[in-house]
A and B are shown apart, each in its own frame.
Chain A
Amino acid sequence: MTVEDNSHQSEQNIENQEAVHQTDAQAEHLTETEHEESHEITLYAEPIAHIGNFPVTNSLVTSWVAVFLIIILSIVIRKKTKRIPAIFQSAIEIVIEGALDMMDLVTNDRQKSKKAFPIVFSIFVFILINNWLGLVPGIGTISFNGHHIFRGGTADLNATLALGLFSVIAANIFGILSVGFWDYFNKFINIKALLEIPKKIRKEPTIILVNPITFFVGLIEIISEFAKVASLSFRLFGNVFAGEVLLASISAMVAWGVPLPFMFLELIVGVIQALIFAILTLVYFTIASTSHEH
């Protein structure tokens, strides 16, 4: 909406006064019809209500639904957990075992996998449920007062950015806890490398060239931490949002049958993106927990 408006405004500036009125009226007419047909998708989640000055957006509402579903699922699992598993418990156990095995491929250490498991698995489940909730028919189309009540939770940069920040910050904390503060600090601001220069300069004179480079590599690591947040959050947001736009536009063209394969595609994309986010988080955890010295 904002993009279109901007383009209209720029058009307005160029054209003369009479034409301005015309285009204005056209633009208004356009936006009105868009509202009625509910085909318009904004980059940001729309607030549907305010509590104080806290905006409750449609994405947040969907996230709450996701949290609610996960709570119910967890309680069901808790109730059904027995020593001798039934089919339901077996299925869940297979999922958990598979996830742990997959994590072992990254960490190469069962103990480490088990430590990171709750966070990584929760990330996966939360993102997966949010992605899929965005695909449920009705979400994105039910509107109230001209606003959509639901919008996929991960189709809002707020959610993905929060998760990305959490993932990177948690990985850093994990790194500090497992390597120690001083070693971890030297990964980024490599004072150790600088201190080594006068000690070893007699044995290997090349150190005066190598270690300053190492120091700068450390500084670049700081930037890469921010890049991690950006790549995690924008990748997820971009994929899910693009999926919703794709589905909406296909449905707008042909409403019957044709969107179905795209729906399946988006279901798969939902799993894949959740998996990527979780595995990257695990990779960050693993990198942070290994000491820098090789």
Chain B
Amino acid sequence: MEILDLFGVNWKLMLAQLVNFAIVVFVLWRFAIKPLMKVMEERNKEISQGLEDANSAAEKLQNTEKEVKAQLNEAKQEAMSILEKGHKQAEADRQTSIDQTKEDVKQIVEKAKDQISAEKTKMVQEVKKEAAALITESLNKILLDGLSKEVDQKYIKKSLAELENEK
């Protein structure tokens, strides 16, 4: 075709240009586009993954916070109930110990009273006995020595002295 000759068209040159272009396609694809696209895609994936992770982490954090609060509340309630129980227990213990002490004191007092009264009667009996013996003895002496005033006086003094000495 004449028109193609006018433009210097030559199939060899066209082939050479086609080879040039093929090299360009291969090199651009192999060394530039493919690795770049790969990196870009990977980064996109990573970013979406990161965002997802962040979301789930936030959710987890919220859940944990809720859990912690719930547990805290529970612990507080438990502590309160334990404290109350302790208070009650202590109160009861105190009451019983007071009662016990009161009882003990009562018993001791009663015992002491009994002892005192027993001792008292015993003492009275003994005094009575002694007084009787004394009276009999003194009567004996009085009756044996005669009933002179002097004697009487003498005797009384003597027995008083004796008593004094005995003491």
Contacts and interface: CB of A to CB of B under 8 A. Distances in A.
A75 interface: yes
A81 B42 CA distance: 13
A57 B20 CA distance: 14
Contact of A121 (B10, B14, B27, B33): B33
A122 B29 contact: yes
Interface residues of A, number: 49
Interface in A149-169: 153, 156-159, 161-163, 165-166
Contact of A78 (B8, B18, B21, B32): B32
A67 B14 contact: no
B29 A118 contact: yes
Interface in B31-65: 31-33, 35-37, 39-40, 42-43
B133 interface: no
B108 interface: no
A55 B33 CA distance: 33
B31 A77 contact: yes
Given A67-B24, A118-B28, A125-B28, A158 B8 contact: yes
Contacts of A114: 37
Given A57-B13, A122-B21, A93 B27 contact: no
B28 A74 contact: yes
A90 B6 CA distance: 46
A233 B28 CA distance: 23
A43 B15 contact: no
A44 interface: yes
Interface in B94-113: none
B33 A73 contact: no
B39 A121 contact: no
A13 interface: no
Contacts of A75: 31
Contacts of B10: 55, 158
Contact of B12 (A45, A55, A123, A153): A55
Given A157-B8, A157-B9, A64 B20 contact: yes
B89 to A, nearest CB: 67
B107 to A, nearest CB: 93
16 contacts: A2-B6, A43-B6, A54-B16, A55-B12, A60-B16, A67-B20, A78-B32, A78-B35, A81-B39, A83-B43, A122-B21, A122-B28, A157-B9, A158-B9, A158-B17, A166-B18
Please provide the 10 A-B residue pairs with the shortest distance between their CB atoms, ordered closest to farther. A44-B8, A74-B31, A157-B7, A158-B13, A162-B17, A122-B25, A77-B32, A162-B14, A78-B31, A74-B32
Given A77-B35, A158-B10, A162-B17, 10 more contacts: A66-B24, A67-B20, A77-B31, A77-B32, A125-B28, A158-B13, A159-B17, A163-B21, A165-B18, A237-B7
Interface of A: 2, 42-45, 54-55, 57, 60, 63-64, 66-67, 70-71, 73-75, 77-78, 81-83, 85, 89, 92-93, 96-97, 114, 117-119, 121-123, 125-126, 153, 156-159, 161-163, 165-166, 237
Interface of B: 4, 6-10, 12-18, 20-21, 23-25, 27-33, 35-37, 39-40, 42-43
